[in-house]
Amino acid sequence: MTTDIGDAELRRCAELVGHDFADRSLLKLALTHSSYSAEETDEPSNERLEFLGDAVLGWVLADEMYRRHPDFHEGLLTDLRKSVVNAATLAEVARRLGIGPFIRLGRGESRARGGEKVSILANAFEAILGAIYLDAGVTVVKAHVLRLLSSVIDAAVPGLATLDPKTQLQELVAARGFTPPQYDVRDEGPDHAKTFFATVLVDGRTRGEGTGRSKKAAEQEAASRAVASLRNERA
């Protein structure tokens, strides 16, 4: 994990991402976490690029899923997109590319190995997609998204139509010989407006996190992300 990044590191990161940036400052911005910006007040963070990249990613995948699965109704398409566009899946793609060591972090976040955190990796990946979109346009960024995530889409489809996420996870875990999933749930806020936060562990490892207005909703989201993570790992 780095607190800054030079031209050589930017070139190396661009090679790993697979895009030759005409404006390499966009990649540098995409790799700048808010903890770094808090210490270097004259530099913005990657949050705006992350917002843009999230929108680009959602559109590209919605278009691809619509075309690839003409027999899927709206609910199934939504579930499929959620199983792919989530922090666990995107962080895994970022790890596979090797983005983590290039993320610009504040000193505290760097000491805490922030470049290995799911949320930071996923956000940086989305920010990089936003940077590619600004640098080269729709056609190029779409090609990158499909190159990196087509296999994840395919891996997410089996069982999607019939099983809720917790059941999917239970069956997937059993098939692979793991111990049953364990859910840890906490809540915050007043009684009339609680938000629940769930973490699911498989074989002692955190595999998914979720939030919701009910314990069940939070657990289902956590399970969905765990399913995507495990299928992506196998893919």
Q: Which domains does the chain have, with CATH numbers?
A: 7-156 (1.10.1520.10), 165-234 (3.30.160.20)
Catalytic (active site) residue 54: yes
* DSSP secondary structure code for residue 97 in this structure: H
Which residue of the set 109, 126, 135, 221 is catalytic? 126
Which residue of the set 50, 54, 64, 109 is catalytic? 54
User: What's the pTM value of the predicted model, to 2 decimals?
Assistant: 0.66
Helices 47-68 and 138-156: crossing angle in degrees, nearest 10, is 60
Taking alpha carbons only, the member of 48, 68, 31, 45 closest to residue 151 is 68
Q: Are 92 and 233 in contact (CB under 8 A)?
A: yes
Question: According to the model, what pLDDT value does residue 217 have?
Answer: 85
| Residue appearing with tokens 């793991």 | 178
Taking alpha carbons only, the member of 13, 37, 27 closest to residue 107 is 37
User: For every one of its 235 residues, what pLDDT tens digit does the chain have, with 9 covering 90 and above?
Assistant: 445 678 899 999 999 999 999 999 999 999 999 998 888 767 899 999 999 999 999 999 999 989 988 867 676 788 888 888 888 889 999 999 999 999 999 888 888 887 888 889 999 999 999 999 999 999 999 999 999 998 888 887 775 655 578 888 887 888 888 889 999 999 998 888 889 999 999 988 999 999 988 898 899 899 989 988 888 876 5
Distance in angstroms (rounded) separating the CA atoms of residues 223 and 174: 14
List phi, psi (to 5°) of 131.
-65, -40
